[in-house]
Amino acid sequence: MASFIEPIQLKQSLGDDGILFVRNETILDTMVKTSLLVASMIIVAALLPIQSSFSSPRDLDLIIYPDGSTHISTEIDIDPFLTDYELNLFGSTIDNLVVVGDNEFLLDTSIMDNSVLIQTFGSSVITIDYDIHDLVSKQGRLWTFSLDSPSTFTLLLPKNSAIVGMINLPINMEIINDQNQLTLSPGKTEIDYLFSNTISNSLSDTKIETNYFPYAIISGVLLIILIGTVIIIRIKQKNHKPVEHNQITKKSITLDLETIFKLKSDLREDDKELVKFIFNNGGEALESELRKKFLQPRTTMWRAVKRLEREGVIEIEKKDLQNLVKLRKSMESEE
């Protein structure tokens, strides 16, 4: 503190009306401590996602069946201090509702017209699955899907369906098992489609040119973080004392399927299938490929992949804005 403020007698000056002025160019540094600023920014940054995420769907996936019924799968962050949570459903004709909370607890629900009351107390994330029959109507051969969505969502259209009209812009489109999957923005969506045996493969014919600008921005941010990490590691290494390695012995094992399953004997059967597929796919696969292969909704697959990551079986890397799931080349086991 003393180094920032110079003694008054050295830099004092008297104004015309006899007021004593103190010249202090480092007043900002004196008043606002940098460390305090950093700490407050960290708190703000940490609170932002919490504030904006409660009661908003983290994921919303819709699958339209050929008969127009729709399966909805959504995951919502909620305030665990709420004793119950009322969720607006997208209609009133609901079937096969399953609501699961933290630790895959089956939660109690009661449906009231267009909403469902869920006993959530203590749960911070809930997963909701149900079938609904109100979102698609049919006139002649023409099917119309309408939804006013509170968040971005994916929509898997039935096989052999062709879009013939829509009122808004899609964010993305993928082909999954010969079915179109659109990613759409929040707000009103209306899509007309019909079934046709003559759907051309024009989807794959049209040339695809990618705009690399967003990648450049993301790469820039990543680069800054990377440089920062390197600096921090170097600083740490300078002050680093050798750590005793006696407590933990690390076993580095080149992994094959047998070894993985031996080391992680409590893996779930469906998770083992995932591991097998990744292994046979050269040790890596995109999360979207896994979804296609196992026909799982985005949320279910995301949870499975996260489970395997927690188990230390796989690692997740970002590749072209997608999750690349890789089998770990070695596994550390504590003895």
User: Does 194 interact with another protein (rule: CB under 8 A)?
Assistant: yes
Residue 265 binding another protein, by CB under 8 A: no
**CA nearest to 264, candidates 199, 328, 200:** 328
Binder among 5, 176, 199, 263 for another protein (CB under 8 A): 199
The CA R_g of the chain, rounded to the nearest whole Å, is: 28
Closest distance of CB 229 from another protein, Å: 10
Q: Least Å distance between CB 137 and another protein?
A: 5
Identify residues 278-317 at the interface with another protein (CB under 8 A).
none
Answer yes or no: are the C-beta atoms of 126 and 82 closer than 8 Å.
no
Choices 5-13, 39-47, 243-251, 282-290; region in contact with another protein by CB under 8 A = 39-47
Structure tokens at 34: 């940098």
- Toward another protein, which CB reaches closer, 87 or 331? 87
Q: What are phi and psi of 31, to 5 degrees?
A: -80, -40
Interacting positions 40-59 with another protein (CB under 8 A): 41-42, 44-45, 48, 50
Site residues for another protein, 138-177, by CB under 8 A, read 138-142, 162-173
Judged by beta carbon, residue 105 or residue 279, the one nearer another protein is 105
CB-CB contact of 156 with 62 (8 Å): yes
Q: Which residue type sits at 322?
A: Q
Cβ 179 vs Cβ 207: under 8 Å: no
Using the rule CB under 8 A, which residue among 26, 55, 65, 112 binds another protein?
65
- Do 151 and 186 form a contact (C-beta atoms < 8 A)? yes
Positions in 91-130 near another protein (CB under 8 A): 91, 93, 95-96, 98, 100, 102-106, 108, 121-122, 124, 129
For residue 128, which of 182, 183, 69, 85 has the smallest C-alpha distance? 85
Residues β-bridged to residue 145? 136, 191
Count of residues that interact with another protein, criterion CB under 8 A: 88
